[in-house]
Every structure is written in C-alpha cells, then in structure tokens.
Structure 1
C-alpha cells in the first residue's frame, strides 16, 4: 500500500512494526519479521536513510518510527510533483505525436485485403467490436458471407448496438432473405431499400470501414477489399451512406403511426421496395394468390386503384 511513497514490501512491513512499538533493536526486528539479522539491518538502514526511522533518544541500538504524517506526507508530496511533471511531459509528447502521426501513418489509413477468409474475419471482428452503430450498404450477390451467415449482426443487436442497413432491392429476392431480414428488424435493425446501390460497404462507429472492391477478369471474381481507418475517405463513405439512406424506402414490421398490422406493413414495405409478388410469396411461404389478395386489401384500405396510387398514399399518410 505504501509503494506510492517509494517503500518496498520489506520496508513497509518493518515501518509498520516500528509504528506499533516504542522501539526495537535490529535483532528484535529480524525476529518479528522472520528474516535474517543482516536483512533486517539492511531494511532498517534503508528506513533511516529515507527519514522514516530514527534512533530512540539515549538508546543508540533501539529504533522507532518517524511520525507518518511527517515522513510519508513529504515523500508523497515529492512523488506527486514528479507525477505532475511526468504528466506534462506525456501531454507534450502526445501533441508532438499527433502532429506527425498522420504523415508517419498515412500508409496505414488504408489496408488492402486480398483473401475471402481474411475479409470474412475482418467483417466479424468489426461487428464484434462495435459499440454504438453499424451502417451498411448491402448489394445483391454476397462477397464474403451471406446475410444468413452473418450471425455477428444478431449478436451485436442483442447487446444494444444500433444497425442501419440499406439493401439493394434485388437482394431481398434471394432465398431466405426476407425471413432473415424480419428477424433482424425484430431485434432492432433499421432497414431501407433502393433499386440499386453503387457499392457495398460497412462502417462501425464511424471509425472503421470495409469496402469490397471486385474486379471481374475472364468470368472469375478476384477479391480485393479495403480496410479504411479514420480519414477523409471514411468521412466521404459515411456521407454517401447518409445521402442514400435519406431517399431510400423504409422496410418495417411495426410503426406507431401506421394503421397496418405487422404482416401488412411488412408486405407493403417489400412491395414499395420493388420485390416481386412471386418472391414475396416464395420467401414468406404463402401462395402468390395470398400475396395478391393482401395487396388488394391494402389498396381498398387506401382507396387506391393502382399499386402506384397505393405507394403514393402510403408515403403521404406516413404508413412506412
């Protein structure tokens, strides 16, 4: 406990013994501490040198402690001054480091990944380490893993990480996608859709992004991806996401302002997002006739004659 005052464990034990006694001789100190006489003498000599012990007046072979508030307070004060000076030096060094860091580490702002295994692992680590929010652009055709394989998102959602995911409409027609999407939305994912997306990417907490870059050569896909750390490029990708997000169609299961139940709201979301009746029926495991009957019910509820009018009414009435 007294290491902050510069005492070793042996010195602290000896000093505590001196505090509790009127005076002890070196031999008595050795016996009480359970050490050799020579070790006790060295420890006692160290305490004397540090001003923590003194000879008992009139008894040169007996020693007692100097009052703690006198001896230790002064030592702690000196230590605090040393810590303050060290802190100032650290602040100065940190300033110098930040001035030169960007030039020194420019090459580390972007790291190239050329392996599917490495990309898959990086995507998992990025989501496992996310603390606040993950945003993602999901194009059709998986590169590293399918949406069903991305169990890291579900785990992150369960621990409270926010997700905003923008899907390319054709992706929603892939087998099993709608069921997986509904599970994510139930856990808190905010989903939207657009007919097409310019890139696929994922950004965690605005601090780390992954941007797959695909080069098609001779019918084969050669994987290249960029791991992007805080930089103007990462800021630009974040701005791109926000711009696309603002004009995308929400995909919802529940919405307090909507008069629709969860089934009809989800169906309307998919319809407005451009998913075909056949794909909706196949993935939700209902007949295409059932899907069309539900759409007709929505049109009647909205007083719409066409699906375009239904979409317009849903936007105007804030159903989605």
Structure 2
C-alpha cells in the first residue's frame, strides 16, 4: 500500500490501522491482528497512540471496539496547519531570495545588468515582467516597435484588469501606424494612462521600479534586437527619472466621444476665480487663510470647493488637486 499520510504524522502501521477502521466502521483488537497481520503488542501500542492523538475513539469500552474519527475533522485541521506553515515558509524563501539577490548585486555590479541577446528572449522577459508586476509599469514606446507592438501586448491587458497601474508615453510616429491607435485606445479604456511626445530617445520598460528593460543598438544588417535587463542600482534610478521627466512634458491622450484617440487635455470647466481657489488648495493653503485672502467666509470657501468638486467630478480634495495637475489647468 502506498503510504500517503506520513506528512500528517501517521507512520506506515498507523496509516494501515486508520484506513482499516475507516472502511470497516468498527473493529476490535483481534480484527486488527487477524486482518492486518500485526502482532498483539504492536496493535495495543498503535491503538493507544492513535486514541491519545484523537485519530480513533472507543465505541464499546467493555468489548474494546474502536472506530475512526472522521478524516476531515482529525486530518483536515492538520492539513490546514501544514498548508499555513508551507505558505509561511514560501514567503520566507521569497524574501531570503530577494535579500540574496540584493546582496549579490551589491557584491558584484555585473549582476545588475544582463544582456538579452535576441527578439525571442526579449519578448519572453517583457511578458514575464508584466505578468509578475504588482503595482506599476512604465513604458517609453518609440515608433516601429523592436519586439512587441502595442496591439500585441496582451500581458498589459491582463495586468490592467488585475489593477496594475500603467503609464505609457508614445512617440508621435506610432499614432500614424495602422492599427496602433485602436490598440492604444483599448488600453486607455481599461485604465492605461497614455501620453504622447514628438520624439523619444529610447525604448524603455520599468516594472515596479525594481527592474527595467532597455533595448540596445541593433547591429547593422541584422534583424535581431538586443536589450539590457537592469535590476536595481543607480542606473535603474536614472531610467525612472528619465521617464518621469518626459512624462511631465508629454501631452495626454484621450478617448473622444466618438471613441477615437485624441491628443490634448480635457477642457477646463472652471472659471478664473475657481482656478485661483484651486491653486491655493494645491499650494496647501488652509481654508481660513484662503478665506482671508479672498475676503470671504470660511464657510463660503468650503461651499465653493464643494461646487468645484461637483463640476470636475472629483470625490476628494486630493483627487481635485491631482486632476488639476494632470489636466494642466493651472
């Protein structure tokens, strides 16, 4: 018989006894001896141990008949504890692995950068990094994608659906390529934040600000792109800063009422007086000071802020400030 329950604390003889009691409902000591071929002393020892551990119980003390306790009760709880221990151990291993990698990178700068030698390897890494992304993916997308056109980036769509934030800057030339605007528009509808620049210096993907993929120069006369996989360090920090610098200067891409992809910000629904009030809020000026500056009561300030939030669709003051910044109303 294949032993399957050792991990739950049953030795081979105990498992045989437990399985026998499960299938026969009740049994005496003599039944165990006769059917399982174990000696009386072993049978007594095993029964005492299993009863103490709650695996079996006595049905008729006078005749010494025993029955198995339901497996889902006695073994299910042990299985749950084992699973919890495994989950804890897995998290510890993941943490230790990351600490090991960090330590190795500090000891050996060569581990910070790995060369991805061809298109297949590059695509595999781009897919994998997006599949394991937890929080944020940043993209700089030049025209004529070297490895993965926007409309073929299915990993992004899956990541967007599970809540990963995407910020993507597209080079202007991409918007003229057939099929690309529709793919970008679909991503924007799923939550991608998209912007456009006339020109971008590099292609770049950064995942969770921990790992980056930076395509390298393609050799003349070949069709195979190569790329650098960057893990941490100041080089990665510089790449993130590069992205953020271009993000600030890029023009947002929107979905028009007809579903088409358009450039530009949403028209500001606020007048000059309301914009002045929003600028004070963004600067962190308290309501009381705003009231003094504008010559109105603090209650009026709060009422006007509430009206502004209704006009802009903001749910909180922080959301109002964020929208004013991203829409470039100020």
* Same fold flag (TM > 0.5): yes
Q: Once the 2 structures are TM-superposed, how far is the Cα of residue 187 of structure 1 from its aligned partner?
A: 1.6
- Please name the residue that 2:227 is paired with: 225
Q: Once the 2 structures are TM-superposed, how far is the Cα of residue 224 of structure 1 from its aligned partner?
A: 1.7
Distance in 1 (alpha carbons) for counterparts of 2:260 and 2:45? 86
Q: Once the 2 structures are TM-superposed, how far is the Cα of residue 250 of structure 1 from its aligned partner?
A: 1.0
SS of 1:153 mapped into structure 2? helix
Q: Once the 2 structures are TM-superposed, how far is the Cα of residue 112 of structure 1 from its aligned partner?
A: 0.9
SS of 1:143 mapped into structure 2? coil
- Please name the residue that 1:164 is paired with: 167
- Please name the residue that 1:236 is paired with: 238
- Please name the residue that 2:253 is paired with: 251
1:234-288: CA deviation from partner (whole Å, max 9, x where unpaired): 233222212221221111126xxxxxx566982546xxxxxxxxxxxxxxxxxxx
CA contact (8 A) 1:214 1:221 kept: no
1:266 partnered with 2:267: no
C-alpha distance 64-266 of structure 1, shift in aligned 2 (>3 A): same
Distance in 2 (alpha carbons) for counterparts of 1:316 and 1:146? 26
**Which segments of 5 or more consecutive residues in structure 2 lack a partner in the other structure?**
54-62, 67-77, 79-84, 266-324
**Which segments of 5 or more consecutive residues in structure 1 lack a partner in the other structure?**
54-61, 66-75, 77-82, 255-260, 270-314
TM-score, normalised with respect to structure 1: 0.56
Aligned residues: 236
Distance in 2 (alpha carbons) for counterparts of 1:235 and 1:116? 25
CA contact (8 A) 1:136 1:201 kept: yes
The one of 154, 175, 195 aligned to 2:198: 195
Q: Once the 2 structures are TM-superposed, how far is the Cα of residue 139 of structure 1 from its aligned partner?
A: 1.0
1:182-226: CA deviation from partner (whole Å, max 9, x where unpaired): 222112111011222221111222233211101443x55652201
Larger Rg: 1
1:118 partnered with 2:114: no
CA contact (8 A) 1:136 1:165 kept: yes
SS of 2:167 mapped into structure 1? strand
Q: Within 5 A, what are the aligned runs for 1:124-135?
A: 124-135=127-138
Q: Within 5 A, what are the aligned runs for 1:97-112?
A: 98=100, 100-103=103-106, 106-112=109-115
CA contact (8 A) 2:195 2:247 kept: yes
TM-score, normalised with respect to structure 2: 0.54
CA contact (8 A) 1:214 1:222 kept: no
Q: Within 5 A, what are the aligned runs for 1:40-59?
A: 41-42=41-42, 44-45=44-45
Distance in 1 (alpha carbons) for counterparts of 2:193 and 2:119? 27
- Please name the residue that 2:307 is paired with: none
C-alpha distance 106-224 of structure 1, shift in aligned 2 (>3 A): same
Q: Once the 2 structures are TM-superposed, how far is the Cα of residue 41 of structure 1 from its aligned partner?
A: 4.0
SS of 2:205 mapped into structure 1? strand
SS of 1:226 mapped into structure 2? strand
1:65-89: CA deviation from partner (whole Å, max 9, x where unpaired): 9xxxxxxxxxx9xxxxxx9xxx9xx
